[in-house]
Amino acid sequence: MKTTSDLAPEEFARHAHRLADWIAAYLRDVERYPVLATTVPGAIRAQLPTAPPAAAESLDDILADLDRVVLPGATHWNHPGFLAYFANTASVPGILGELVTAALNLNAMLWRTSPVATELEQVVTDWLRQLFGMGDGWFGMITDTASISTMYALAAARERDPALGIRQRGMAGRADLPRLRVYCSEHAHSSVDKAAMTLGLGLENVVHIACDGDFRMRPDMLTRAILADRAQGFRPMAVVATAGTTSMTSVDPIADIGAICQRESLWLHVDGAYGGSAMAVPEMRPMFAGLELADSLVVNPHKWLFTPMDCSVLFTRQPKVLRRAFSLVPEYLTTPDGDQVVNYMDYGLQLGRRFRALKLWMVVRAFGTDGIADRIRHHCQLAQHFADWVRVEGKGWQVCAPVPFSTICFRHVPEGETDEREIAEHNEGIMARVNASGEIFISHTKLGDQYVLRVAIGNLRTTEATLDRAWALLRGAVR
């Protein structure tokens, strides 16, 4: 007989109980696995059938493959030794939230397609606004990633002047449209360039402004670039200031940049994808002075707010403009709910939207604003300890950039070596050896022509002992 229904709830319960134990054991024993996957390209695919099964398989068999296929092929972001890129955490409340999100399968496209999904999103983004010490007047929405949040912010910036008629007439083939220009620092994330590609602004129209010795955008150079563009007949549109750049976590001078944006009538978007979470720590807020001048801000709870992938929060003080950029309501999506409700589909490209607010709400409640601040503060203290170890060690070890948050850029220079290519190769070797240990995973970047190593602390399981071990491995990897 053909089965045409779902598996029984009892079967779900049996396996979910088992899976809960499996997940708890994974979180407890994650250090048993090499943090960086040791698998070679194609090896995972080679163990799997190339075609899907025609006949149903048992959940017992499927779940057995978590140990056989999934774990050995994973790079373990939840491992305490994960110190690469921006380390993050799928915390216990966040994992529970994801489970319920999948079970409820709500769609937060319209208020009525699930009022709680919309209203919880409004509540939790406003909680974050308060957690970050931001003033009133910000509208918050959840997207998947900072890349999308920034693209939405720049779409709104482009729509701010409706006289350009871009929403209706597009940009292609229009002699009447000036070149629209976006400014960001030379260290801004590539998502700004990608947004310009996507929005039809063009990569050429993203102007990368030079930075000072601490990798912060130079306001004088910004002013100069804007004036030069105006003189050529270009149309400055937006500035993206970064609060926590990807390579070295520098913070652009938001207040100075904001003043320029006000004077020049430009949209100011602040990319705090990583660093923004530090606003949860009151004594760190002065770094973000001037944020009240911004039109939009992105912070990623999936980076440094202990929320599992994916979860990015876009704040804007111009929700009407964002709405104008994206709202388009076909007959089948009209509702009688009127202006009393927010229909989040009106503020972005997506119609269907995951119920991401639930996990974030659960994380904020389970840790509390004080607990979140304590955890972030602790990560910053760990980073200062690590930077001190590197400085005190000397013998060619150097810290290569200020450490405003929880990420350290450093390197080892062999005695007498001045050739940057040689130094880069030397540090690449150190990185390869420590990453091969399976105990830690670090990444690298370039600061100008300097190849540097990066340790990013953002996982709740990373302790001082983890870093002590990382430092021993690094010192031991010098040849």
Smallest separation (angstroms) from ligand PLP to the CB of 246: 4
Helix axes 420-436 and 464-476, enclosed angle (nearest 10):
130
The closest of 128, 171, 457 to 314, measured between CA atoms, is 128
Smallest separation (angstroms) from ligand PLP to the CB of 112: 29
Smallest separation (angstroms) from ligand PLP to the CB of 11: 36
Residue 35: Cβ-neighbour burial (10 angstroms; 0-12, 13-18, 19+): buried
Smallest separation (angstroms) from ligand PLP to the CB of 225: 21
Smallest separation (angstroms) from ligand PLP to the CB of 146: 4
Whose Cβ is closer to ligand PLP: residue 222's or residue 413's? 222
Whose Cβ is closer to ligand PLP: residue 111's or residue 306's? 306
Whose Cβ is closer to ligand PLP: residue 187's or residue 412's? 187
Sign of the dihedral defined by the CA atoms of residues 327, 330, 333, 334, in that order: positive
Smallest separation (angstroms) from ligand PLP to the CB of 145: 3
Whose Cβ is closer to ligand PLP: residue 311's or residue 423's? 311
Residues forming the site for ligand PLP (CB under 6 A): 86, 145-147, 189, 191, 242, 244-246, 271, 273-274, 300, 312
Whose Cβ is closer to ligand PLP: residue 19's or residue 309's? 309
Strand order in the sheet with 235-242: 139-143, 312-316, 296-299, 267-271, 235-242, 180-185, 206-209
Whose Cβ is closer to ligand PLP: residue 147's or residue 316's? 147
Smallest separation (angstroms) from ligand PLP to the CB of 65: 28
Within 10 angstroms of residue 214's Cβ, the number of other Cβ atoms is: 11
Smallest separation (angstroms) from ligand PLP to the CB of 275: 7
Smallest separation (angstroms) from ligand PLP to the CB of 392: 29
Whose Cβ is closer to ligand PLP: residue 298's or residue 423's? 298
Whose Cβ is closer to ligand PLP: residue 76's or residue 189's? 189
Taking the CA atoms of residue 402, residue 406, residue 412 and residue 416 in that order, the dihedral angle to the nearest 10 degrees is 10
| Tokens 């990420």 -> residue | 407
Whose Cβ is closer to ligand PLP: residue 312's or residue 316's? 312
Taking the CA atoms of residue 82, residue 84, residue 85 and residue 87 in that order, the dihedral angle to the nearest 10 degrees is 20
Smallest separation (angstroms) from ligand PLP to the CB of 427: 21
Whose Cβ is closer to ligand PLP: residue 146's or residue 390's? 146
8 Å CB contact between 226 and 265: no
